[in-house]
Amino acid sequence: MTVTTAPEAALGVLPRADGSAKYSHAGYTVTASVNGPIEAQRRDEHPYEAHVDVIVRPAAGVGSTRERHLESILQSSLTQIILVKNFPRSLIQIVLQVEDTPENDYVNTKLVQASLNFAIMPALFQTAVLALLSAGVPMRATATATAVAIVPQDGTKTSVVDPSPRDAEIAQSVHVLAFTSHDELLLAESEGDFTVKEWDDVYETAKQVCCRPVPAKEGMEMVLDDEHTNGPDLRHFLRSTMEQKVASDLHWK
């Protein structure tokens, strides 16, 4: 039941925000707005660096402890890539509104209180990075994120990139990994039971999705590459999205 769609993104969808992005991938659609650097409230002020404030709003209902948990994970990893030392005493506010989540065909779900899980993390993270780029917030590096689930299937275990809700439900463990454009591991969160060997496999799979080298020349090589790799090429996607944005901004050059 995997929703196999290529990632899609639009930048600058909210005219009044400093930066915004709408991103949809694997059935999830998230819109983000970034404002900053703006004046921080007295209690958030830090004398030497900017405070990064992440707010996650679910598609239905109000956020609860789960969203606070995702916010804290996103906040700590985004603080790593934003050059927070450039803007002391200020605030960079990132609001992530979940618009759409894939439905689980096996369970009759009534969407009253959306319960977010790790499978949505890559979408949230990627949208936040795109919105930060759109806002022109100075960053150390860009980053790409993916989720990998280890699903038992006919007695063996297979790793599934971008798991569907069904996969996430029956999975033994779900992992979220993010890598910077430098191939450095930025974020690694896991839930469930897994062995070190399994984590290593997950790491390799995620690295392949997030850190595929940009092809020097498009053409035959790319076509061949696609056959023996799974998952979308996120880094290339991020790059081409930004190239489009820069080209339309600098149409007068």
- Catalog residues that contact another protein under the rule CB under 8 A: 17-19, 35-39, 83, 86-89, 133, 135-142, 180-182, 238-239, 242-243, 245-246, 248-253
Secondary structure letter of residue 248 according to DSSP: H
For the bound state, the minimum distance from the C-beta of residue 251 to another protein, rounded and expressed in Å, comes to 5
Indicate the residue among 25 and 245 with the shorter CB distance to another protein: 245
Indicate the residue among 173 and 180 with the shorter CB distance to another protein: 180
Indicate the residue among 220 and 250 with the shorter CB distance to another protein: 250
For the bound state, the minimum distance from the C-beta of residue 18 to another protein, rounded and expressed in Å, comes to 4
| DSSP helix/strand/coil, 145 | strand
The answer to whether the beta carbons of residues 186 and 178 sit under 8 Å apart is: yes
- Residue 115 has, within 13 A of its CA and on its CB side, a CA count of 6
Q: Please name the amino acid found at residue 182.
A: H
For the bound state, the minimum distance from the C-beta of residue 99 to another protein, rounded and expressed in Å, comes to 22
For the bound state, the minimum distance from the C-beta of residue 51 to another protein, rounded and expressed in Å, comes to 14
Indicate the residue among 35 and 159 with the shorter CB distance to another protein: 35
Secondary structure letter of residue 36 according to DSSP: E
How far is the C-alpha of 205 from the C-alpha of 250, rounded, in Å?
Answer: 37
Q: Please name the amino acid found at residue 232.
A: P
